[in-house]
Amino acid sequence: MTAIRFLGGKGGVGKTTMAAALAMSQAARGQRTLVVSTDPAHSLGDVLATRLGEEPREVATGLWAAEVSGEAQARRRVAEITEDAEQALPREVLPAVRRHLARAVDSPGTVEAALLDRLTALVEQVGTRWDRLVVDSAPTGHMVRLLSLPALLTPWVEGLARQRERTRTVDRMAAGMLGRADETPDPLLDRLHARRRRLEWMRERLREDSLVHLVLVPEHLPLAETLRAADTLTGAGMRLGTLIVNRVVPEGETGVLAERLPQQAEVLRRLRDRFEATEMVHVPLLGGALTTRAELADLATLLDEAGLGE
């Protein structure tokens, strides 16, 4: 059983509903399951008809849910870095550093890195607090960048640590020449080393113990985005799980929906050609809002029967 599942796809294809249903399926198997949204346009609480926040709350037997804000995580992360800087840097440069860090809170890179920190903390609890983690990811491009961050940030953090170590070496040499021993701790360097180790751990955990389920509807634009995402993710060492094709029109449909059948057939053919070694589940176009527990339970049963809960 794979403990960590990411669901991603183009906005509007139903990935949040699929994430909620998959989490319900796993909880129904007796697994302590957390479903968490990292999408800035949070709708997981709407799907579960429950008000959600940063901290997980139990929404059903064995099922917890949360909506994580990258911006809130960034503010906390920058506050920690500011505190470290105040202990490690000369007083005269601190005003400029504070101004720079204050502007960094609104940087997309800062938000994504802080979001990765929070996701890493949740992944660290899989196997102790949770048995399964289901992540309702942001639309495809954001999800790909988030999952690529551990590999991208590790060499950058290593470079910062080496630069800091060189600075500390010069400081020690200068202190020795003046007859003083400089053995003061360096919280900034300690945090850089800890962050590098954590990034390396997360990178391996994502590769070894997670699956990405791409969700799409049988239309050409979602297909194109799905193909690009699949290439990028597999190139980064991620494993693709069962592909979820949502809102599939039944073959015998008549009326206006019948006009969608030729496009749908072409998209499904291309998916079979591209993902011939990947399992695929077709979720039929369903009535209702899919926001009641009974409707989600029916969808969870469908996903479970397709093997996604295993």
The first and second tokens of residue 260, run together, are 């969608």
* pLDDT computed for residue 296 by the predictor: 86
> Could you report the per-residue pLDDT of 152-198, keeping only the tens digit for each?
666 656 666 666 666 666 555 555 544 555 566 666 667 777 777 88
In a domain, 190, yes or no: yes
Asked if the model's pLDDT at residue 235 lies above 90, the reply is no
Return the minimum-mean-pLDDT range out of 1-10, 75-84, 267-276: 75-84
Q: Cβ(283)–Cβ(253) under 8 Å?
A: no
Whether 19 is covered by a domain: the verdict is yes
If one compares 69 and 223, the residue with the highest pLDDT of the two is 223
Q: If phi over 0 gives left and psi between -120 and 50 gives alpha, with beta otherwise, what is residue 210? A: beta
The residues pairing with 37 across neighbouring beta strands, listed in sequence order, are: 67, 136
Give mean pLDDT, residues 267-296. 85
pTM: 0.80
pLDDT at 7 over 90: yes
* Lookup: tokens for 128: 């102790």
- Is residue 161, in this structure, part of any structural domain at all? yes
**More confident position, 231 or 178:** 231
In a domain, 126, yes or no: yes
Residue 187 lies in a domain: yes
Asked whether residue 162 is domain-assigned, the answer is yes
Domain residue limits at 52: 4-305
Long-range CB pairs of 84-91, under 8 A, 24+ apart, other chains included: 84/187, 84/188, 84/191, 85/188, 87/187, 87/188, 88/186, 88/187, 88/188, 88/189, 89/188
Q: 12-21, pLDDT tens digit by residue?
A: 899 999 999 9
pLDDT of 83: 72
**Residue 310 falls inside a structural domain:** no
At residue 269 the predicted structure's pLDDT band, cuts being 50, 70 and 90, is very high
Single-letter amino acid code for the residue at 124: E
For helices 108-124 and 140-177, the axis angle rounded to 10 degrees is: 90
Tell me the average pLDDT across 217-234.
93
In a domain, 210, yes or no: yes
Percentage with pLDDT > 90 across the chain: 38
Measured between alpha carbons, how far is 241 from 239 in angstroms, rounded to an integer? 6
Rounded Cα–Cα distance for residues 309 and 251 (Å):
27
- CA 282 – CA 285 distance, rounded (Å): 9
pLDDT at 280 > cutoff 80: yes
Q: What is the pLDDT of residue 256?
A: 85
Rounded Cα gap, residues 261 and 110, in angstroms: 44
Q: For the chain, what is the domain count?
A: 1
CATH classification of the domain holding 82: 3.40.50.300
